[in-house]
Amino acid sequence: MSLTFTRGSVIAVAMGLALSGTAQSQTAPYAAQQAAAGQLRDKALKGSIAFELVESLTTEVGARPAGSAAAHRASDWAVARFKALGYDKVTVETFPVPNWQRGIETAEVTVPYPQKLFITALGGSVATPPLGLSAQVVLFKRFDDMLAQPEGSLNGKIAIVTERIVRAQDGGGYGAGYRIRGLGAAEAAKRGAVGYMLRSLGTDSHRVPHTGSMTYDPAGTKIPAAALSNPDADLLEHMTDRAVPVTVKMIVTPTFGPDLEARTVVGEITGREKPEEIVVIGGHLDSWDLATGAIDDGAGVAITMATGKQILDRAERPRRTVRVVLWGAEEIFKAGAAFAKAHASEVDRHIIGSESDFGGGKVLKLALPAGLTDRAFAEALGRAVTPAGVLMERTPALGGGEDLMEINAMGMPVASLRQDGMDYFDWHHSPDDTLDKIKATDLDQAVAAWSAFTLMVADSAVEFRAPKTAAK
Ligand SMILES: [Zn+2]
């Protein structure tokens, strides 16, 4: 698998080089755009403002869960920064989000080998009784093993799943393991469990748990749900391997309140010729509460704000409008629908979009929408990003980011700038998501890729919708 992938990539690079050697004169329509994109790319590679932005956001605001007072400070920060950077228009879009507040979270093995465990409640989890929930555990090393159990088989037990996610450069292991966190409590409750824990969806071996959202079956019983640190998942495997009953006591005390107001902040660079045509880039401003949200998603906020600044620093605005959107509730999946609703009347004028939400690593690949038929444009864009180490994907983008899912479903094409996420899930959603995990030079490379991409799509008349829907 990995050998095939590597060989395919080498061939693609070789073909790309061959094209760039022979097709220069035939792609003259985009030679000027390619050159301009190359200038922005090289400028970013020498240094951008991205690291300074994420340093500022993580230091001056820190953790900023959707709708919280800190999230409002983050939106104030974003408005002030957009204005200071010279964006043409700054707007704030508000929408309601659920109000879930983390409480105490502790766990311990009480029988047969009393020991402390390190856990964190999953976002949206209900509480245990204030004095805790004590029950014998049933441990499954694979999620499918739990799903194979009949209803009633976990009556009165705490179900624990210790399946590991696979470390992968593109984050595919997290995608495959997501259901263990998202659906695990609902599935355990269906089988009679009174509590649910999973091995954190993290690739690290630190004794810190990783949080994240989950959902209950609306018709089912709601049971408390928490993530164990990786070493504690190992510890419970060792205990249960001894075939003696193991009892765990867990206490999680999150609370629910009236809905809060989340805020998405939009910084606009108004197009010089076709201002009604919109290119959307951005990241999400909200974070989980356990850390300062440097990689998730201070990095994406910084990369795209800095990309806008690079475009603003040019002598003229691009032909089309660029909107840098900082979504206000990605972690609880609420910002995308609110954004699509707010812009429903102008979806047809949204030319293309892409979200940066995979940390501060280098951009390795760029995938364009399936509807693009202008190969000369794709080749010119490929030549503009290749010198920064970015390979043009030969297959179309599958998604443009969580916050663009709904507007993509309504017809806006999406692109994908795929970063190196090899280490991303070591820190994601855990107390370790802090600024020291970000390298300024990697962020600058990402800004270089995003700048070349954004300028070329905004300073052209290229259509990304499939031709039959592109007719006006
Ligand atoms: Zn994120």
Q: Where are the domains of the chain?
A: 26-100+259-470, 104-253
CA of 439 to the centre of ligand 1 (A): 18
- Find out whether the peptide bond into 231 is cis, omega within 30 degrees of 0: no
The CA 466 to ligand 1 mean position distance, Å, reads 29
If one counts every other C-beta atom within 10 angstroms of the C-beta of residue 330, the result is 27
DSSP H or E stretch at residue 260? strand 255-269
The whole-angstrom separation of Cα 266 and Cα 297 is: 16
Fold of 26-100+259-470: Aminopeptidase (3.40.630)
- Most distant CA pair in the chain, distance: 76
Q: What is the structure's pLDDT at 1? A: 30
For residue 194, the CA-to-ligand 1 centroid distance in Å is 30
Distance from Cα 376 to the centre of ligand 1, integer Å:
33
Cα of 249 to ligand 1 centre, how many Å? 31
**What is the CA(296)–ligand 1 centre distance, in A?**
5
How many angstroms is it from 331 CA to the middle of ligand 1? Answer: 6
pLDDT tens for 382-405 read 999 999 999 999 999 999 999 999
Q: How far is the CA of 320 from the centre of ligand 1 (A)?
A: 27
Q: Residue 471: its pLDDT value, please?
A: 46
Question: How many whole angstroms from 401 Cα to the centroid of ligand 1?
Answer: 9
Q: How far is the CA of 340 from the centre of ligand 1 (A)?
A: 18
For residue 18, report the distance from its CA to the centre of ligand 1, in Å.
37
Query: Residue 11's pLDDT is what?
Result: 38
pLDDT of residue 118: 98
CA of 10 to the centre of ligand 1 (A): 30
The pLDDT of residue 29 is 84
Distance of alpha carbon 66 from alpha carbon 95, whole angstroms: 10
Between the CA of 275 and the centroid of ligand 1 the distance, in Å, is 29
Distance 144 CA to ligand 1 centre (A): 27
Distance 180 CA to ligand 1 centre (A): 18
Burial bucket for residue 162 (CB in 10 Å: 0-12, 13-18, 19+): buried
For residue 217, say if its preceding peptide bond is cis, omega within 30 degrees of 0. no
CA of 295 to the centre of ligand 1 (A): 8
Instruction: Determine the distance separating the centroid of ligand 1 and the alpha carbon of 185, expressed in angstroms.
Output: 22
Q: What is the pLDDT of residue 81?
A: 98
H helical segments located in 215-343: 230-241, 299-312, 335-342
Distance 357 CA to ligand 1 centre (A): 5
Residue 19 CB contacts under 8 Å (≥ 6 apart), including other chains:
379, 382
CATH number of 104-253, picked from 3.50.30.30, 3.40.30.10, 3.30.420.250, 3.40.309.10: 3.50.30.30
Distance 456 CA to ligand 1 centre (A): 26
If you measure from the C-alpha of residue 429 to the centroid of ligand 1, how many angstroms do you get, rounded to a whole number? 9
Distance 437 CA to ligand 1 centre (A): 15
- Centroid of ligand 1 to alpha carbon of 90 (angstroms): 22
The rounded Å distance from CA 236 to ligand 1 centre is 30
Give CA–CA dist 361/446, Å, rounded. 7
Ligand 1 centre and the CA of 360: distance in Å?
11
Q: Are 27 and 456 in contact (CB under 8 A)?
A: no
Q: Which parts of the chain sit beneath pLDDT 50? A: 1-25, 27, 469-472
CA of 403 to the centre of ligand 1 (A): 9
Domains 26-100+259-470 and 104-253 share a fold: no
Strands (E), 56-173: 89-101, 105-111, 115-117, 119-121, 133-140, 158-161
- Nearest CA-CA partner of 450 in 350, 339, 352, 327: 352
Distance, CA 152 to ligand 1 centroid (Å)? 36
* Distance from the alpha carbon of residue 270 to the mean position of ligand 1, in angstroms: 27
Query: Residue 298 Cα, ligand 1 centroid: separation in angstroms?
Result: 9
Who contacts 135 (Cβ-Cβ below 8 Å, separation ≥6)? 156, 157, 158, 194, 195, 247, 248
CA distance 197 to 226: 5
